[in-house]
């Protein structure tokens, strides 16, 4: 793992030295960048000695930019760890400032690759400004770890604000690759069931949850195949993307890939019915009552569950009432390992969601957050159930 460790200027910066050492010990390649304030607490030389690599401190130092400047480091990094993330650094990141080497490098790294470990006095942590700034960074996809609760540097102060201990931060960094080489199949988006060459039945699924699942799995090292119905989302980098239109196309595409995968996550909002016939030409208005005959589409997931041998199966239950009970019924009826249930009345198209995940083995978790954060939490649950 190539880790860019960005150190902010708080007293917890001394723990960033230990963090650098532990990351190196865990086999990561580590490069460090320090803010000017960080250098009041720890020196670049400390990090250079611990990592064996030059440290970025100055945007305008010609020799630093020549060796590996902020953009080169941003391109190189698979993950950027911001530890300690001070109130000031968090606010600069929220604003997109690029007024030093740390913020300039981070600005060139997508926030979903940031792991932010805040550390500050508990009163500063409680301020609406810090909370709002961090909330926005989360909405952009950043992961946050901590702060931990305990004694502050000012010994009379106790509360949330301590930097999470370095071994825990290392675990969070490494967790990213816990699906290395695991072949997974994710389906996403709506299906379209054609009535004639210009009309179809569909639903408002945006595909965002499925795309987030594909992205999260890719970032954790999985080999991802994403089968997607029509969406307006940009293609996901480094995943095999298969575009489909109808439930039957989806069934066929799943069938083609199923033998090679260990996990199937069916986040697609598959149509349960399709028009019995697709007219060859645009259907004309007729006098009197117009009736549309529908037939059922194959239940792809239930079909997989019924097979004697099948990959780990994750279904979604989009419900408008009795969410958990309906999901529990689906979990057993479709013979799934996990089901992710949500109330769809206000979920379609949004960046965030609130779900309940139920497992065949009795596990249950209530999750809420951005779709990318949910995706990681769902993969955590899948990972712990995957046989070695």
Q: How far is the CB of 333 from ligand C5P (least distance, A)?
A: 8
**Where do the H-state alpha helices sit in the chain?**
13-25, 44-51, 62-68, 70-76, 87-95, 101-107, 122-125, 128-139, 166-175, 208-219, 247-257, 300-305, 323-333, 371-383
Contact present, 251 and 266 (Cβ < 8 Å): no
Q: How far is the CB of 76 from ligand C5P (least distance, A)?
A: 38
Report if residue 93 touches ligand C5P, rule: CB under 6 A: no
CB closer to ligand C5P out of 150 and 298: 298
Closest to 2 (Cα-Cα) out of 24, 33, 19 = 24
DSSP state string for 245-304: -SHHHHHHHHHHHGGG-SEEEE-SB--SEEES---SSPPPP-SS-----EEEPP-HHHHH
Q: How far is the CB of 69 from ligand C5P (least distance, A)?
A: 46
CB closer to ligand C5P out of 244 and 317: 317
Query: In the set 5, 222, 247, 338, which binds ligand C5P (CB under 6 A)?
Result: 247
Report if residue 330 touches ligand C5P, rule: CB under 6 A: yes
Q: How far is the CB of 190 from ligand C5P (least distance, A)?
A: 10
Q: Which residue has the tokens 């030389």?
A: 45
Q: How far is the CB of 194 from ligand C5P (least distance, A)?
A: 16
Report if residue 266 touches ligand C5P, rule: CB under 6 A: yes
CB closer to ligand C5P out of 77 and 269: 269
The mark string for 363-382 relative to ligand C5P (x by CB under 6 A, - otherwise) is --------------------
> What are 185's two structure tokens?
């199949």
CB closer to ligand C5P out of 206 and 297: 297
- Whole-number Å distance between alpha carbons of 247 and 225: 17
**Terminal-to-terminal C-alpha distance of the chain:** 21
| Active-site residue (options: 203, 223, 326, 342) | 203
Q: Is 203 a catalytic residue?
A: yes
Closest to 31 (Cα-Cα) out of 90, 96, 105 = 105
The dihedral formed by the CA atoms of 221, 227, 232 and 237, expressed in degrees to the nearest 10: 30
The mark string for 286-325 relative to ligand C5P (x by CB under 6 A, - otherwise) is -----------xxxxx-------------xxx--------
CB closer to ligand C5P out of 303 and 369: 303
Report if residue 272 touches ligand C5P, rule: CB under 6 A: yes
CB closer to ligand C5P out of 298 and 349: 298
Contact present, 117 and 145 (Cβ < 8 Å): yes
Q: How far is the CB of 94 from ligand C5P (least distance, A)?
A: 36
CB closer to ligand C5P out of 169 and 264: 264
Query: In the set 16, 216, 270, 377, which binds ligand C5P (CB under 6 A)?
Result: 270
Size of the site for ligand C5P (CB under 6 A): 14
Q: How far is the CB of 225 from ligand C5P (least distance, A)?
A: 15
Report if residue 344 touches ligand C5P, rule: CB under 6 A: no
Q: Specify the long-range contacts of residues 209-213, CB closer than 8 Å, at least 24 apart.
A: 209/267, 209/316, 209/353, 209/371, 209/374, 209/375, 210/186, 210/265, 210/267, 210/268, 211/236, 212/370, 212/371, 212/372, 212/374, 212/375, 213/186, 213/188, 213/265, 213/267, 213/375, 213/378, 213/379
Q: How far is the CB of 315 from ligand C5P (least distance, A)?
A: 4
Query: Among 102-110, 133-141, 194-202, 267-275, which window interacts with ligand C5P (CB under 6 A)?
Result: 267-275
- Whole-number Å distance between alpha carbons of 101 and 129: 24
Query: Among 127-135, 215-223, 226-234, 264-272, which window interacts with ligand C5P (CB under 6 A)?
Result: 264-272
Q: How far apart, in Å, are the Cα atoms of 211 and each of 145, 169, 205, 206?
A: 24, 26, 12, 9
CB closer to ligand C5P out of 239 and 336: 336
Q: What is the chain's length?
A: 388
Query: In the set 226, 268, 338, 359, which binds ligand C5P (CB under 6 A)?
Result: 268
Binding footprint of ligand C5P on the chain (CB under 6 A): 247, 266, 268, 270, 272, 297-301, 315-317, 330
By annotation, the residues acting in catalysis are 203
């Amino acid at each position: 793992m190539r880790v860019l460790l960005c150190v902010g200027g708080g007293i917890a910066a001394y723990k960033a030295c230990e963090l650098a050492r532990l990351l190196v010990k865990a086999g990561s390649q580590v490069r460090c960048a320090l803010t000017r304030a960080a250098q009041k607490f720890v020196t670049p030389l400390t990090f250079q000695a611990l990592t064996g690599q030059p440290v970025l401190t100055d945007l305008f130092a010609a020799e630093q930019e020549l060796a590996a400047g902020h953009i080169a480091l941003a391109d190189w990094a698979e993950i950027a760890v911001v530890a300690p993330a001070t109130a000031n650094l968090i606010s600069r990141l929220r604003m997109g400032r690029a007024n030093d080497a740390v913020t300039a490098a981070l600005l060139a790294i997508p926030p979903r690759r940031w792991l932010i470990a805040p550390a500050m006095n508990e009163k500063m942590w409680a301020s609406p400004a810090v909370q709002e700034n961090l909330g926005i960074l989360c909405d952009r996809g950043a992961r946050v770890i901590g702060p931990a609760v305990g004694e502050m540097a000012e010994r009379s102060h106790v509360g949330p604000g301590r930097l999470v201990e370095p071994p825990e931060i290392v675990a969070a960094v490494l967790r990213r690759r816990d699906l290395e080489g695991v072949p997974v199949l994710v389906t996403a988006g709506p299906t379209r069931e054609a009535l004639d060459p210009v009309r179809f039945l569909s639903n408002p699924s945006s595909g965002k949850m499925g795309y987030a699942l594909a992205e999260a799995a890719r970032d954790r090292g999985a080999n991802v195949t994403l089968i997607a119905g029509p969406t307006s989302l940009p293609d996901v980098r480094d995943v095999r993307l298969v575009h489909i239109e109808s439930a039957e196309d989806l069934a066929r595409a799943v069938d083609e890939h199923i033998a090679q995968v260990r996990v199937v996550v069916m986040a697609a909002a598959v149509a349960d019915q399709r028009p019995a016939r697709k007219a060859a030409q645009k259907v004309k208005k007729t006098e009197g009552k117009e009736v549309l005959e529908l037939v059922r589409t194959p239940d792809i997931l239930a079909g997989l569950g019924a097979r004697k041998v099948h990959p780990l199966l994750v279904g979604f239950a989009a419900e408008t009432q009795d969410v958990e009970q309906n999901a529990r019924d689906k979990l057993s009826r479709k013979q799934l390992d996990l089901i992710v249930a949500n109330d769809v009345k206000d979920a379609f198209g949004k960046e965030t969601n609130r779900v309940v995940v139920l497992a065949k083995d009795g596990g249950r978790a209530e999750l809420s957050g951005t779709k990318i954060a949910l995706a990681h939490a769902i993969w955590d649950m899948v990972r712990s159930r995957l046989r070695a």
